[in-house]
């Protein structure tokens, strides 16, 4: 397998967390852990891209409560999503982080659009779509 060397920029806190994880796990290097994380990222994106037709799912996201203007933008996006979004719960995880879980149902394209709009927001740390088989 051909290997290529790349360099990347990363927040110090995130790198610290990665290193702590590596020390506590079976990973022997940052590269190995990052390669696995990247594979998982791509697999999830592929799974999402393949969704079609009517879908039911749960969308979970974690975001930074302190990010200026983010709460308003989230509300706008949720209002625009209209009928595909039903119940949502909000949990103030700690001083800084909010977790929001939403039940989504409807056309796959609309759900994917919603996920992408949420991911694009500055201050949104994680968005996970879990499709549910009916």
The binding site for Ni ion (CB under 5 A) comprises: 92, 98
Count helices and strands (H / E) in the chain.
4, 4
**For Ni ion, the closer CB: 4 or 94:** 94
Min dist. Cβ of residue 119 to Ni ion (A): 18
Min dist. Cβ of residue 90 to Ni ion (A): 6
Min dist. Cβ of residue 67 to Ni ion (A): 12
**For Ni ion, the closer CB: 65 or 112:** 65
What 3-state DSSP class applies to 130?
strand
Ramachandran region of residue 36, left (φ > 0), alpha (ψ -120 to 50) or beta? alpha
């Amino acid at each position: 397998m051909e290997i290529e060397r790349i360099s990347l920029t990363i927040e110090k806190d995130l790198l610290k967390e990665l290193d702590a994880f590596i020390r506590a796990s079976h990973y022997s290097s940052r590269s190995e852990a990052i390669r696995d994380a990247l594979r998982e990222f791509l697999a999830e994106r592929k799974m999402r891209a393949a969704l079609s037709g009517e879908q039911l799912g749960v969308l979970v996201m974690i975001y930074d409560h302190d990010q200026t203007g983010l709460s308003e933008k989230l509300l706008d996006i949720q209002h625009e999503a209209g009928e595909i979004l039903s119940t949502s719960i909000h949990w103030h995880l700690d001083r800084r982080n909010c977790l929001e879980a939403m039940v989504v149902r409807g056309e796959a394209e609309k759900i994917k659009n919603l996920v992408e709009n949420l991911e694009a927001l500055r201050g949104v740390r994680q968005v996970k779509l879990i499709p549910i088989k009916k």
